[in-house]
Structures are given as C-alpha cells and as structure tokens.
Structure 1
Amino acid sequence: MTDTSDEIPETVATYLRLRGLAPSARSFKRRKRRAVDEENIPFSAGRDPKGISDVLGDLTRQAGWEPQLAREDVVRAWAEVAGAETAERTRPVAFSESTLTIQADSTAWAKQLQLMRAHILSEIVRRFPEAGVETIRFIGPDVPSWKWGHRTIPGRGPRDTYG
C-alpha cells in the first residue's frame, strides 16, 4: 500500500471520477491561498473604532445633507452671527436657493440691517461656507393686507374717506 499522506481520500477520488477528472494526489493537496484582505487584519488602520461624530459626518457627506444642515446651523447660530441685540429684534424666516430672508420687528430695524448687509453676509460665509448663502433679504413685520379676501373692491377701498 502507498503512503497515506500521498493518498487521496476515497470520497474525493469518487467525486473526481464522476466529474470526469483523473484523481491525483497533487491536485488534492493544492489549496488556494487567500488574498490578504487589508481591511480585516486585526489592529490595522481600517479596524480602529470611530467616534459617533466621525460616523455621522461621513453619513451626512455621503448623503449630501451638508448644505441643508449648514443652513440649519445658520438659523441656530443667528444670535452669534448678527449679535444678541439684533437677534432679539430679528429672525430668519426663509431660505430660497441662495437667498436668506430675515424678518425684523420694525421697518427701522429692517433698514438698519440693510446697511449692515455686507458685514452680516461676510460673517455667514466665513462661519458656514457650506450653506451657500449669497444674498440676504431683509423684510419688515407682517401687516394685515386690505387687498385680499372675498369682500375686496378695486381702488383704495375703505381708506378713501380719510381725505
């Protein structure tokens, strides 16, 4: 009888015979070498645990959420960007494309902010470049309109009796 280390097990020999392959001891002993997988080697750079902020940062970058989150940061940090006193009298109300709309408590505050537009815009761009704010629009307080509704009439309406 031959040496058992060179002998092919009967099950493997039967399988090879049925498949039409000639059994040989050499083909049985040959094994595939695994390619080195750098990602799954213990203690490699890819295996280090990441902090939750890194994981969420990667997620927002991959999902394309950065501009929207930066716009939310502008609203959240409005008091820091515009100043505490200004933030008490104003509030961001809308983003449309690259325009930030700020509503003031009075028309005087809206006019004052128009004069400060360049400073506020540069501060927003410096702190939040991902937000994509290119222009700022300042509006006064909302006032009721006499022009809309089911009882409107053309012309000046009820105010024409004052003069």
Structure 2
Amino acid sequence: MSDTPAQTPEPSKKTPEPSGVDLARVALRAAKEQARARGDAAQQKRQARRGGLRSGARADGRDPMALGAAINRLLTERGWETPAAVGGVMGRWPQIVGEDLAKHCVPQRYDEDERVLTVQCDSTAWATQLRLLAPQLVARLNEDLGHGTVRLLKVQGPGGPARRYGPLRAPGSTGPGDTYG
C-alpha cells in the first residue's frame, strides 16, 4: 500500500445536475435505444417467420432458379439420372431404332440393377430380327445414354391371348385350350 493518502473529491466541487435541455437529450437517447432494441427483436421475429435472412446481391442456395436447373438438381440429388435417361429413350424410341423397327418393337421396362432393357415385339419374325440387331442396338443406346447404361437387350415375342376367367373355365386350368370334358 502506498503512503500517499487517496484523494477524495471535495464537497464544494459537485457535478452539475442536468438541466432541462440536457434531460431531454438523455431521455431522447434512451428512447431511441429502446426503440432500436424493439425493432431489432421484431425484425428477428419476422425473419424467423419468413425462413431466415433474405437473399442479397450475391447468389446463394435460396435464390430462385430456372425450372430446368431445378429438375436437374433434383435428379442429381436423388440419383435418378439413369432412370430419367432411359425414360427419355422410351419416348424417343422411333428416332433411336428407326421407324420400321419401332412400329413392331416396343420397350417395356428397364431393370436398373441388372441394366437390362426389355423389348416386346409383335411377331416372332421381328423378335428374331431384333435379336440379330441387339449388339448394334445396345451400342447405340450406350452411346446415347452413357457407357454401361444398357448391358443386355432382352427381346420378348408376342404375348399369348389374355387369359379369361369365368364360369366356363376349369379350376386350375393352365391354358386357353384347357376346358371341361
């Protein structure tokens, strides 16, 4: 501790009391600070209701985007690029295989796990023709869709007549010619 005594303010030197104008300035400053605090709180509540801050001059993830870009982003995020591409092939089948072949052969389904495209033909002759063209067709499809998208082309012939069930059918019958008696 020091040997010098602490200086205490003399009672004769008091700080002056604020006058009317000074009191008004202090009151105005306090009111502005309170209003600013209330405004900040209200603005934060509005932003929370709206889902966060608004986008500014720079692009970020919340900005609106074109429909095509949004769809491409969705396809990429969900991993739907290959099924969407194969769906496009089914829509463009006549341009890919040619008009003659497209009249007689229709793609039925695509197995993404096995990478097999199943095609049904309307006659056995066209099914045989498509089986002969399968390697070239698989190469053309992979060229259009990306390498390895289609590994195998499964060709089916025409389906038989629809099985009808009714009162004249034998229970457990196996085909259209299986009848009573």
Determine if the TM-score, normalized by the shorter chain, exceeds 0.5. yes
Which residue does the alignment assign to 2:98? 83
Q: Is the counterpart of residue 101 in structure 1 residue 118 in structure 2? A: yes
Which residue does the alignment assign to 2:133? 116
Q: Is the counterpart of residue 133 in structure 1 residue 155 in structure 2? A: no
Gap regions ≥5 residues in structure 1? 13-38, 159-163
Give the letter aligned to residue 159 of structure 2: D
Which residue does the alignment assign to 1:150? 172
TM-score when scaled to structure 2? 0.55
What is the Cα deviation at residue 50 of structure 1? 3.1
Mapped to 2, the partners of 1:101 and 1:64 lie a distance apart of 22
Give the letter aligned to residue 128 of structure 2: K
| 1:22-41 equivalence runs, <5 A | 40-41=55-56
TM-score when scaled to structure 1? 0.61
**Contact 1:70–1:130 at 8 Å: present in 2 too?**
no
Instruction: Count residues with an aligned counterpart.
Output: 125
What is the Cα deviation at residue 48 of structure 1? 7.2
Q: Is the counterpart of residue 64 in structure 1 residue 79 in structure 2? A: yes
**Contact 2:55–2:63 at 8 Å: present in 1 too?**
no
What is the Cα deviation at residue 145 of structure 1? 9.4
RMSD: 3.7
Between 1 and 2, higher relative CO (CA 8 Å, sep ≥ 6) is seen in 1
What is the Cα deviation at residue 62 of structure 1? 1.0
Mapped to 2, the partners of 1:62 and 1:51 lie a distance apart of 16
Which residue does the alignment assign to 1:73? 88
Percent identity at matched positions? 27
Mapped to 2, the partners of 1:86 and 1:59 lie a distance apart of 34
Give the letter aligned to residue 77 of structure 1: R
Per-residue CA distance 1:18-66 (angstroms, 9 max, x = gap)? xxxxxxxxxxxxxxxxxxxxx9441x34487532111111122112222
Mapped to 2, the partners of 1:86 and 1:150 lie a distance apart of 38
Mapped to 1, the partners of 2:126 and 2:174 lie a distance apart of 31
Mapped to 1, the partners of 2:97 and 2:89 lie a distance apart of 10
Q: 1:41 to 1:151 in 2, by over 3 A?
A: closer
Quick check: which has more Rg, 1 or 2?
A: 2
Gap regions ≥5 residues in structure 2? 1-15, 34-53, 164-170
| Partner SS, residue 125 of structure 2 | helix
